[in-house]
Amino acid sequence: MSDKILPTTVVGSYPKPKWLNQLIREHSAGSIPDEVMESAYSDSIKAVVKEHELAGVDILWDGEMRRDEMTSYFADHIDGFTIYGEARVWGNNYYRKPSIVDELSYRDELTVSEYRNLRGLTEHDIKVPITGPYTIVDWSFNEHYRTKEDAIYALAEVINHELKALVKSGASFIQIDDPAIPTHLDELEIAKNSVEIATNGVEAYTGLHICYGDYSKMYPAVLDFPVDQLDLELANKGFQDISIFREHDFTKDIGFGCLDVHTKRVESVDEIKDNIRKAFEIVEPKRVYVDPDCGLKLLSSQVSFQKLTNMCKAAKELRDEL
Amino acid sequence: MEYALSTIGSYPRPEWFRDYLRKQEGLQKDSRGVVDESYMKAVGEVLGEQRNAGIDLLTDGQLLWRNMLCHLYDNMEGFRLSGLIRYFDNNMYYQMPEVVGKVERKKSLILDEYIAACSVEKKIKPVLSCYSLVDLSRNKFYGDESEFLMDVAGVMNQEAKALADAGASIIQVDEPSLLYADKEGVEAAGEAFEVLTKGVDSSFILATYFRDAKTLYPEVLDYPFDVLGLDFVEGLDVNLNIIKEHPTKKIIQAGVVDGRTTLMENPSKVKELIDSISGLVSGEKLFLSPNTGLEYLPYVKASEKMGVLSASVD
């Protein structure tokens, strides 16, 4: 999709500025008017875009400033979902867990307005991340559909509608985020079907982001998913998964997670270069997209910026060497 | 048939208490919540919800438990916490405990929570675990897995005695891992339960959930438990068959409503299920409960779920 060799990109989320988090809290407590909140979101996105540009990122996203979380944000905009309250994920971490209470149908834009807004802010290429139907259903309660599978396919139709609308608005690179796929390997076929439905007739370059899983159990089967790119988390596990992907011909482009987002340590340019070189053991350089393992939102802005800067420098140096 | 309604263990934290704990503990720190004024208010609310729903045998809701069953390790010597790992097939995670030294009970595990809850409500069943704890953790110390299991059983025995001394007439032991065990594991668990229950002046419930219990039969009938908890949501057909094939004098604690979905069952359908279970047990008494703890649900849905349970026996 990209003309440049080793294009750099992000997976999606970026740390929210402290002032934005504060304003979100005050807004939900009712002490800040909607229009102020709206302009805060808008300004924070400008700041993120500038940071990404300064770091040297080629293919941008808006840092997901408007998304509180990757399930409920979408559920809030799709008919058939309701959210009764929060459910625990671990420790003191909770999320607003949606319930499917009626037939799922398209109501309003999920990502199109985010895309349009960003298009007006940068000349760079844009990648639009959207949570996959498999993951949204897996992280929701199902009150309506007879089976989980039925719910997933119904939601995949809704997502398909959105992806087509995105393409119509000019989007050319869409990433489906499906971190739940590796957690139920017995449902890989259902997950594949859901991606097939979601991307059917979508004239864009598509990627699939999967993380936190045992790739050995889903490879090479995952090559059958109808996407152009697999975006993988590799740094977190010290690149030990490379050997898995060498066993079969890797027939897709790779989004190569070369930064560990679970550590505050900023990897050096040389270290990242070595990391990226490992991708060449799997595919030729022109099929490699350089990015962090996952969204950066759990790190501080400073650390995120330094990591991205070093990553982009590393990609540039390698590009020059190749 | 006489019915006693019960809950399994966990209960969603009241929203304000969640925020309070988040402030106290932060999102990641390893500190453990304590029995304080806020906790007393929260446990009061959770017990009130259960009472209002007509529950006969209550739990304290495990409101301070950060790590599902592994909370029990918090006060034990010999452990440290490592990375996050999925808790069975739930979208819920726990920090995997690693055993790095001899397991010992230096202080009580849940006694303070039990006593606190009892000051509000007398009919509390405290919840322990043994085999599952060992199964859910990583052994980096014991050369022999069974020695590890026996040491945990010994600690649980001390805790059970302390609970019994504090007035616990019935204690529940949660063992979801047993449903995934092989024959060897089922036998080892039996020996551990002998240690756990020895000399404790209290009745014991074995709680199992997340799937059917076919791996446990017939050995489970010799376990030193008075009540056997089975999941009739996930393991419906197999568990119905099992209790038919293996008649027992032990009381069955039947999980008959789904603690992991916001979908509310039709009470008349639940009643049908209860009737078929009643027809297969020999005793005069049946414990009825959700199949799992209720903390998988948003707070408002937990009481509604208990409402379905009690409506089904009205």
Is a pLDDT exceeding 60 seen at residue B284? Answer: yes
The mean predicted confidence, pLDDT, of chain A is: 95
* Record: contact A87-B261, CB cut-off 8 A: no
pLDDT, position A210: 94
Residue B23 is part of a domain; what is its CATH number?
3.20.20.210
One-letter amino acid identity for B174? D
Give the rounded percent of residues in chain B with a pLDDT score beyond 90: 87
For CA atoms B203, B208, B212, B218, the dihedral sign is: negative
The answer to whether A93 faces chain B, any CB pair under 8 Å, is yes
Name every chain A residue with its beta carbon within 8 A of the beta carbon of B299: 85
A212 touches chain B (CB under 8 A): no
Nearest to B92 among A88, A99, A142 (CB): A88
Q: What is the pLDDT of residues A96-113, one digit of tens each?
A: 999 999 999 999 999 999
Cβ distance of A88 and B26 shorter than 8 Å: no
Place of tokens 């019915």: B3
Query: For chain A, what are the domain ranges?
Result: 56-321
Strands B203-207 and B170-174: parallel
Whether A166 has a pLDDT exceeding 60, the answer reads yes
Please give the Cα distance from B165 to B296 (Å, whole number): 32
Question: Of A84, A88, A93, which is closest to B262 when you measure between CB atoms?
Answer: A84
Alpha carbons A196 and A17: distance in angstroms, whole number: 36
For residue B200, what are the domain limits? 2-311
- pLDDT tens digits, residue range A185-195? 999 999 999 99
Q: What is the CATH number of domain A56-321?
A: 3.20.20.210
User: Is the sign of the CA dihedral A298, A301, A302, A307 positive or negative?
Assistant: positive
pLDDT at site B115: 96
- A97: β partners: A85
pLDDT of residue B55: 97
| pLDDT(B29) > 90 | no
Dist CA B253 CA B186 (whole Å):
20
What is the distance in angstroms between the Cα of A94 and the nearest Cα belonging to chain B? Answer: 9
Mean pLDDT along residues B141-146: 95
Inter-chain CB pairs, A–B, below 8 Å:
63
For B164-197, how does the pLDDT look when each residue is reduced to its tens digit (9 = 90+)? 999 999 999 999 999 999 999 999 999 999 999 9
Between CA B116 and CA B110 the distance in angstroms is: 10
pLDDT band at B286 (very low <50, low <70, confident <90, very high): very high
A183 interfaces chain B, CB cutoff of 8 Å = yes
pLDDT in the model for residue B27: 60
Q: Which tokens sit at A191?
A: 């997950």
State the Cα–Cα distance between residues B99 and A125, nearest whole angstrom.
50
Percent of chain A scoring above 70 in pLDDT: 99
- The mean pLDDT value for A92-99 works out to 94
Cβ-proximal residues to A61 (8 Å cutoff; 6+ apart), any chain: A10, A12, A118, A126, A127, A128, A129
With bands split at pLDDT 50, 70 and 90, how would you rate the model's confidence at B66?
A: confident
* pLDDT tens digits along A227-281: 999 999 999 889 999 999 999 999 999 999 999 998 999 999 999 999 999 999 9
How much is the pLDDT for B30?
Answer: 56
Q: Is the pLDDT of residue B32 over 80?
A: no
**Looking at this protein, which amino acid is placed at residue A169?**
S
Q: d(Cα B197, Cα B190) in Å, to the nearest integer?
A: 11
Contact status, residue B281 vs residue B272, Cβ threshold 8 Å: no
Question: Is-above-0.90 flag for pTM?
Answer: yes
Q: For residue range B200-244, what is the model confidence (pLDDT) as tens digits?
A: 999 999 999 999 999 999 999 999 999 999 999 999 999 999 999
pLDDT at B31: 61
Instruction: Report CA dihedral (A12, A13, A17, A18) to the nearest 10 degrees.
Output: 180
Q: Please list, in sequence order, all residues whose beta carbon lies within 8 angstroms of the beta carbon of residue A294, skipping any fewer than 6 positions away.
A: A11, A209, A211, A233, A236, A257, A261
A1 confidence band (pLDDT: 50, 70, 90) = low
Closest to B50 measured CA to CA, from B64, B61, B65: B61
Q: Is A223 left (phi over 0), alpha (psi -120 to 50) or beta?
A: alpha
**ipTM of this complex:** 0.92
- What Å distances lie between residue B206 and B10, B125, B197, B240, CA to CA? 15, 12, 11, 17
By Cβ distance, the residue of A87, A89, A183 closest to B298 is A87
Give the model's pLDDT for residue B28.
Answer: 56
Look at A293-297, B82-86, B145-149 and tell me which has the smallest mean pLDDT.
B82-86
Residues of A in contact with B84 (CB under 8 A): 90
Cα–Cα dist A229/A7, whole Å: 13
Average pLDDT value for residue range B278-293: 94
Nearest residue to A317 via CA among A286, A281, A276: A276
Domain count, chain B: 1
CA–CA dist B158, B197 (Å, integer): 9
Q: How far is residue A178's CA from residue A170's CA, in Å, rounded to a whole number?
A: 23
Mean pLDDT computed over B32-49: 93
